[in-house]
Structure 1
Amino acid sequence: MSAPETRMTRQRSVILEELRKIRSHPTADELYGIVRNRLPRISLGTVYRNLDFLVEVGEIVRLSSAGHAMRFDGDISRHQHVRCIHCGRIADIVYPLPAPSVDGIQEVEDFASIFASRIEFDGVCQPCAVAG
């Protein structure tokens, strides 16, 4: 079996550039529409595969929550998000709170270790609040 592809291809570079330009935390389908402006022949499957690769190598973050479409974030700095409970829109928290410490958490059934924590907030975005 051959080693997985690890180089930054033109397609990966364009996907990464476009994702880092926007703050809307797009879905793969939304990003596909944006990337096609620069790479008209790219397929949706290629976008999905390259997003998976970029997540695996730590260049982007995958944001997933039950009941909502998976979204992606090109900003890998430490920050938190708020998600609209109506439409699923995600926004960055400008002044993030410190993540809860995992120090002292011991013996959780079926877990060998706990090494990180994160906070995600729920809310209602302005367009959903106005639509009421």
Structure 2
Amino acid sequence: MKLRRYSRQREIIHAALKETKEHPTADMLYERLKPENPNLSLGTVYRNLNQLVEEGSVRRLSFPVERFDARTEAHPHMICIRCGRVVDIDLPYCEALDRQATDMSGHEVSHHELLFSGTCEDCRKIINIKS
């Protein structure tokens, strides 16, 4: 891991990620931070997110759209098939699944990422109102 010098902008971006459970895209973070940080550019957000990922402070989530998560320990996510919202699912990590995948595939599985797809609570409410 390369030691980086202090960056106020990186600190602001990291703090914004830690304050939300939304799993924002780089564009979403930029739009949220720009009003209070007029000198911030979208390129700076991307560059600093990449640096935070490299140092292990942030996770990159590759769903249909790349998102970021300040919660770095392994945990599953749920993505809404209607609105695209991503939320954490608080389930314990299942090491037995890694072992089973290793046994079945012959590959040495080091970890897994679990993604559930479904309809979020807000979208279900809208669907119920319409029906």
TM range (shorter): 0.7 to 0.9
User: What is aligned with 1:72?
Assistant: 68
Paired residues of 2:17 and 2:69 also in contact (CA < 8 A): yes
Paired residues of 1:79 and 1:92 also in contact (CA < 8 A): yes
TM-score, normalising length from structure 1? 0.80
Deviations 1:71-109 (A, max 9, x none): 111122342211112221111113x13324323616958
2:109 corresponds to 1:114: yes
**4+ aligned runs moved over 3 Å, structure 1:** 106-109
Shift of 1:116: 1.0
RMSD: 2.3
Shift of 1:5: 6.6
Distance 1:88 1:106, change over 3 A: same
Residue identity matched to 1:99: C
Q: Which one has a larger percent helix, Structure 1 or Structure 2? A: 2
TM-score, normalising length from structure 2? 0.80
User: What is aligned with 1:46?
Assistant: 44
C-alpha distance in 2 between matches for 1:38 and 1:8: 20
> How many pairs were matched up?
124
5+ residue gaps in structure 2?
none
